Chains A and B, each alone.
Chain A
Amino acid sequence: MFPTPIEKTSRSWQLTYQTLLPIALIMWLLPLIAVAVFSIRPDADFTTGNYWGIPSSFEGIANYSRVFFESDMPRYLLNSVFITVPTVIGAVALSCMTGFALGIYKFRGNLWIFFMFVAGNFVPFQILMVPVRDLTLSMGLYNTIPGLVLFHIAFQTGFCTLFMRNFIRALPYELIEAARVEGIAEWRIFWYVVLPLMKPAIAALSVLIFTFIWNDYFWAVVLTQGVESQPVTAGITSFNAQYRAAYHLMSAGSIVAALPPVLMFFLMQRHFIAGLTLGAVK
């Protein structure tokens, strides 16, 4: 193990390490801690200039309930859910199929189709912006949730295919051969042999795509514009415009907007990290 395991080092370094850990963590998360402290301060602290002293009173509940009951925030959160969940389902479903086709079968153009997905996944968003906006407009889906979802599904299929295909490649090929010898139809091999083995990949991808789409901002501002369809990342700017200079409310709003992916991460940590680091180890 590298570096030298702490229990094999001197007592003094062990103690230093134990004290260094929390200090480093607090410094690392300092900007975030600052916002969390802001979000429980009363309005008065900001007018009197008490930014960093002890909060004069605890107003966390009041601040957060104002975010939830007196602003459009719940609507934006709901929009985000309606955008994120169908995208996750759509992109994972499509990529299970493409990944299966590219991972199991040998045919001409296999690698080229795979590279098309990989290359498309790396493309800068801006080169897609004008045509995609046009396409969405011409389908009458501009400023609607389905318009955003359709694009997200298509774009995320690139990354998901890369992921799924590599995962399926690593499965034992003998399983498929054995099934073919039994005379099982190909789609049944997909459904009954490969799909059950892909559960960990599906879990990992779902968490990842959930986070990516929830946090998307660019496409939200390009393809939507009103409270009826904008997700929370775009909504937070209108929220902030509404509560300009009310830092306690803006902080509370930001924390609310950031929370769902954070919860997702802490609940599904193992899958999340397995997904992010696929390929980091040979």
Chain B
Amino acid sequence: MATTAMPVSGTGPGDGRSWFHRNQIAITPWLFLAPGVLFFLFYVIFPVFQSFNISLYAWDGLGEAEFVGLRNYEDLYWEFVDRDAFYTSLKNNILWLLLYLLAIPAGLLIALFLNQTVAGIRIYKSLFFFPFVISQVVVGLVFTWFYDPTFGLLNTIIGWFGLGPISVLGDERYVTYGIIAAGLWPQTAYCMILYLTGLNAVDPEQIEAGRLDGAKGWKMLWYVVIPQLKPATFIAFVVTIIGALRSFDLISIMTQGGPFGSSRVLAFYMFEVALSEYGFRMGYGAAIAVVLFLIMLCFIAYFLWSMYREERGAR
């Protein structure tokens, strides 16, 4: 390093030097943290608490907010305001959470398939990863057309087998599954890339040792490879859960929550309530957001706990 040492005035620590110089190591981190922390507090941390507060009011976003206590939550619980909206959303959220996890084994499968060294494999890997880079808005549009009952590729293909056209997004029975399938496409790509990186780092000696012991195929995968992929699996799990609970873009683009609100999730329902064309119900929306937040909080707590254990182990 070509930097020259700062001229140090005085002889011992303390004499003749400013207060700042003496306490440099204690003060510097706070100076470096200040802008980032303040920004984050004002835009992320405080709003979480403000939302809790707003959820206790009836408020249209413009006029006076009226304190109503827990009435917004009662309305949600008994569905006084929108029939069948809250529990449908909640049910769909659970579906999203469970089915989205399929991205993890699917990603592992594709990663195993692609973990070879043939010519051009790098291009294949990046093209398989490609869907993750595209915005969810475009993924939504692409799949809307893919599912279209009159000209969509899906119905063209199943038409070859003599199956009638199905309107995936127009049918209450299929709509949520259809959207989840669209979401799984980029998510699987993400899990795949995590596992490809993980597979790269798998210890070849252990694989050889396993081979000598006669482990093959599934047994090798289950007992030797997957345990070594644990860090990749943890990250895949975190990003998939977060992704599932953040599902908004696809629903907004593909169905607007329809038909008859059957594909809503909490994230979309909240947006619809708070900023709909039929007047803003900020307090009610905030109450939905709080419910969603509390669901997420279980996972956040788990993630932080795992990270905390690791930090303790590290130092």
**Partner-B contacts on A (CB < 8 A):** 1-3, 5-7, 17-18, 21, 24-25, 28-32, 34-35, 38, 46, 49, 51-52, 94-95, 97-98, 100-102, 104-105, 107, 110-111, 113, 115-120, 122-132, 134-135, 150-151, 153-155, 157-158, 161, 179, 182-188, 190, 192-193, 211, 214-215, 217-218, 221-222, 233, 236-237, 240, 247, 250-251, 254-255, 257-258, 261-262, 264-266, 269, 273, 276-277, 279-282
User: Contact at B128–A1, with CB atoms within 8 Å?
Assistant: no
User: Contact at B32–A100, with CB atoms within 8 Å?
Assistant: yes
B277: shortest Cβ distance to chain A, in Å?
13
Which residue on chain B has the smallest CB distance to residue A236? B137
B253: shortest Cβ distance to chain A, in Å?
7
User: Contact at B45–A120, with CB atoms within 8 Å?
Assistant: yes
Bound CA–CA A240/B252 (angstroms): 14
B177 within 8 A of A: no
Main secondary structure of the interface of A (DSSP, over half): helix
Contacts of A129 in B (CB 8 A): 51, 270-271, 274, 285, 289
- Convert B49-60 into 0s and 1s, putting 1 for each residue whose CB lies closer than 8 angstroms to a CB of A: 011001000000
Which of A38, A221, A279 neighbours the largest number of chain B CB atoms within 10 Å of its CB? A279
Bound CA–CA A24/B128 (angstroms): 9
Bound CA–CA A8/B124 (angstroms): 21
User: Contact at B32–A214, with CB atoms within 8 Å?
Assistant: no
Which residue on chain A has the smallest CB distance to residue B229? A280
**Partner-A contacts on B (CB < 8 A):** 1, 3, 5-6, 8, 24-26, 28-30, 32-33, 35-37, 39-40, 42-48, 50-51, 54, 61, 112-113, 115-118, 124, 126-131, 133-138, 141-143, 145-146, 151, 153, 156, 185, 190, 193-194, 197-202, 204, 207, 220-221, 224-225, 231-232, 235, 242, 245-246, 248-249, 252-253, 266-267, 270-271, 274-275, 282, 285-286, 288-290, 292-293, 296, 299-300, 303-304, 307-308, 311
User: Contact at B112–A157, with CB atoms within 8 Å?
Assistant: no
Bound CA–CA A10/B30 (angstroms): 62
User: Contact at A25–B127, with CB atoms within 8 Å?
Assistant: yes
A264: shortest Cβ distance to chain B, in Å?
8
Having A35-B145, A107-B29, one finds 9 other A-B pairs with CB under 8 Å, namely A94-B36, A126-B292, A128-B51, A155-B40, A192-B1, A217-B136, A217-B137, A279-B231, A280-B198
User: Contact at B36–A95, with CB atoms within 8 Å?
Assistant: yes
User: Contact at A125–B248, with CB atoms within 8 Å?
Assistant: yes
Which of B141, B303, B307 neighbours the largest number of chain A CB atoms within 10 Å of its CB? B141
Question: Known: A107-B26, A183-B5. Contact between A282 and B138, CB under 8 A?
Answer: no
Which residue on chain B has the smallest CB distance to residue A94? B36
User: Contact at A130–B51, with CB atoms within 8 Å?
Assistant: yes
Bound CA–CA A266/B184 (angstroms): 22
User: Contact at A115–B304, with CB atoms within 8 Å?
Assistant: yes
User: Contact at B36–A157, with CB atoms within 8 Å?
Assistant: yes
User: Contact at B198–A254, with CB atoms within 8 Å?
Assistant: no
Contacts of B135 in A (CB 8 A): 214-215, 217, 233, 257-258, 261
A149: shortest Cβ distance to chain B, in Å?
11
Which of A28, A52, A107 neighbours the largest number of chain B CB atoms within 10 Å of its CB? A28
User: Contact at B270–A254, with CB atoms within 8 Å?
Assistant: no
Question: Known: A111-B311, A124-B292, A277-B197. Contact between A34 and B153, CB under 8 A?
Answer: yes
User: Contact at A158–B112, with CB atoms within 8 Å?
Assistant: no
Which of B45, B126, B198, B200 neighbours the largest number of chain A CB atoms within 10 Å of its CB? B45
Contacts of A184 in B (CB 8 A): 3, 5-6
Which residue on chain B has the smallest CB distance to residue A276? B193
Contacts of A265 in B (CB 8 A): 126, 129-130, 133
Of B28, B137, B246, the contact of A125 (CB 8 Å cutoff): B246
CB-CB nearest 10 A-B residue pairs: A154-B43, A215-B135, A131-B47, A101-B29, A98-B36, A101-B32, A277-B197, A131-B50, A105-B29, A126-B289
A-B contact pairs, 7 of them (CB 8 A): A34-B142, A97-B35, A98-B33, A127-B51, A128-B44, A217-B135, A277-B198
User: Contact at A269–B126, with CB atoms within 8 Å?
Assistant: yes
Question: Known: A127-B48, A127-B292. Contact between A281 and B232, CB under 8 A?
Answer: yes
A42: shortest Cβ distance to chain B, in Å?
15
Which of B115, B133, B190, B248 neighbours the largest number of chain A CB atoms within 10 Å of its CB? B133
User: Contact at B112–A186, with CB atoms within 8 Å?
Assistant: no
Bound CA–CA A113/B307 (angstroms): 14
User: Contact at A153–B39, with CB atoms within 8 Å?
Assistant: yes
Contacts of A35 in B (CB 8 A): 141-142, 145
Which residue on chain A has the smallest CB distance to residue B117? A5
B244: shortest Cβ distance to chain A, in Å?
11
Contacts of A124 in B (CB 8 A): 245-246, 267, 289, 292-293, 296
User: Contact at B193–A277, with CB atoms within 8 Å?
Assistant: yes
Bound CA–CA A135/B61 (angstroms): 12
